[in-house]
């Protein structure tokens, strides 16, 4: 199974040009991916630099035929007031633009058994800008089997940039979600019936958690993500596991030095549960593409 994780900055490259089709093409050039995990996908945010399209989730679905595109919205804001070109005669009328939504997406050609959208903690932080953050989880059938033993949980997230306090709270939440899933794997509740929403709660304990953690390699949030987990396999960093003793190359600010004036850093990661260690085949950070202010990560599992 091949996975690409990438903060694509709504398809905006290091020079400021938005082209989501080019972004997807670049991702295809990195790997014949089964799962594409994207951060900073938008709907209704045309005012963002470069002018992204009205609905990038729909754009992804059109660009990836044969894939299921799943969305999770973190920031969900009212549309800005705008003049309505279809207003009746007699004076200008004011309408409302579509809601402004900002979040993550998973596109996959694997069967999707379950989807969960987890709003992450957002403790008050009056000294810094912040937004609601979300983790998107999909339970994927990776073997063609219908039992939970052939399934894997994939989560993509994007943690707060300005506040370490919020990032740490969000890492704690991701760890708690892992413990919850492991408990469901060990003690699933039976389904009420085959048709209703009270489905069997079994979820695999094995998981991949990827995305932009806005936390430098070796930081407090990074270290906390790797701490032991009661009742669950702990997380390991897929890149450092396959490159023992090495420091990961930077994943942000490599080419966009205007937004990242303090210099590049490694802040995008792919964590996997410890039980997947033996299945790790490849994990690489692409340092060549300039299609975003972040660099993509390619993971391959045996």
Q: How far apart are the first and last CA of the chain?
A: 7
Question: pLDDT value at position 218?
Answer: 97
CA atoms within 13 A on the CB side of 126: 0
User: Rounded to whole angstroms, what are the CA distances from 61 to 12, 69, 118, 145, 166?
Assistant: 18, 6, 22, 26, 32
Q: Tell me the C-alpha to C-alpha distance, in Å, between residue 52 and each of 9, 55, 102, 134.
A: 10, 8, 12, 21
Q: Residue 134: which residues within 8 A CB-CB, separation 6 or more?
A: 72, 73, 74, 103, 104, 117, 118, 119, 120, 157, 158
- Provide the 3-class DSSP secondary structure of residue 205: coil
Round to whole Å and give the CA distance between 129 and 8: 21
State whether residue 45 is helix, strand or coil. Answer: coil
pLDDT score of 145: 36
For position 143, what pLDDT does the model report? Answer: 77
Q: What is the pLDDT of residues 197-223, one digit of tens each?
A: 999 999 999 999 999 999 999 999 999
Stretch among 6-15, 142-151, 208-217, 271-280 having the lowest mean pLDDT: 142-151
Label the pairing between strands 2-7 and 134-141. Answer: unpaired
Q: How confident is the model at residue 98 (pLDDT cuts 50, 70, 90)?
A: confident
Give the side-chain half-sphere CA count within 13 A for 70. 24
Question: Phi and psi at residue 69, in whole multiples of 5°?
Answer: -105, 120
Confidence (pLDDT) at 109: 97
CATH for 2-77+97-190+200-301, options being 3.20.20.150, 3.40.50.2020, 3.50.50.60, 3.60.10.10: 3.60.10.10
Average pLDDT over residues 43-50: 95
Give me the pLDDT at residue 148, please: 42
**What are the CA-CA distances from residue 33 to residues 80, 108, 147, 175, 277 (Å)?**
37, 8, 23, 26, 20
pTM: 0.93
Q: What is the rounded average pLDDT of the residues 92-104?
A: 76
pLDDT of residue 87: 46
Query: Could you report the per-residue pLDDT of 135-170, keeping only the tens digit for each?
Result: 999 999 987 533 345 899 999 999 999 999 999 999
Distance of CA 108 to the CA centre of its chain: 13
User: How high does pLDDT run on average in the chain?
Assistant: 93
Of 72, 6, 15, 84, which Cα lies nearest the Cα of 42? 72
Residues of the chain above pLDDT 70, percent: 92
What's the mean pLDDT in 252-269? 96
Confidence of residue 88 (pLDDT cuts 50, 70, 90): very low
Domain assignments of the chain as residue spans, ordered by start = 2-77+97-190+200-301
């Amino acid at each position: 199974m091949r996975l690409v994780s990438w903060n694509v900055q709504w398809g905006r490259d290091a020079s400021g040009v938005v082209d989501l089709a080019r972004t997807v093409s670049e991702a295809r050039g990195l790997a014949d991916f089964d799962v594409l995990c994207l951060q900073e996908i938008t709907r209704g945010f045309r005012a963002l630099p470069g002018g992204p399209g009205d609905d990038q989730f729909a754009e992804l679905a059109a660009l990836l035929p044969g894939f299921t595109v799943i969305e999770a919205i973190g920031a969900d804001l009212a549309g800005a007031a705008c003049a309505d070109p279809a207003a009746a005669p007699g004076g200008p009328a004011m309408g409302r633009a579509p809601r402004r939504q900002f979040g993550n997406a998973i596109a996959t050609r694997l069967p999707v058994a379950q989807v969960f959208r987890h709003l992450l903690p957002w403790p008050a932080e009056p000294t810094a800008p912040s937004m609601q953050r979300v983790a998107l989880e999909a339970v994927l059938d990776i073997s063609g089997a219908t039992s939970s033993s052939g399934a894997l949980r994939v989560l993509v997230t994007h943690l707060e940039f300005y506040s370490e306090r919020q990032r740490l709270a969000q890492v704690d939440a991701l760890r708690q979600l892992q413990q919850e899933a492991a408990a469901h794997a060990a003690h699933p509740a039976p389904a009420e019936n085959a048709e209703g929403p009270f489905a069997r709660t079994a979820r695999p304990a094995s998981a991949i958690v990827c995305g932009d953690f806005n936390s430098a390699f070796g930081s407090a949030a990074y270290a906390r993500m790797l701490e032991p987990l009661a009742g669950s396999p702990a997380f390991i960093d897929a890149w450092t596991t396959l490159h023992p003793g090495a420091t990961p190359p930077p994943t942000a600010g490599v080419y966009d030095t205007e937004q990242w004036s303090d210099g590049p850093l490694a802040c995008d990661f792919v964590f996997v549960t410890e039980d997947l260690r033996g299945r790790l085949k490849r994990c690489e950070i692409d340092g060549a593409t300039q299609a975003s202010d972040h660099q993509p990560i390619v993971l391959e599992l045996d």
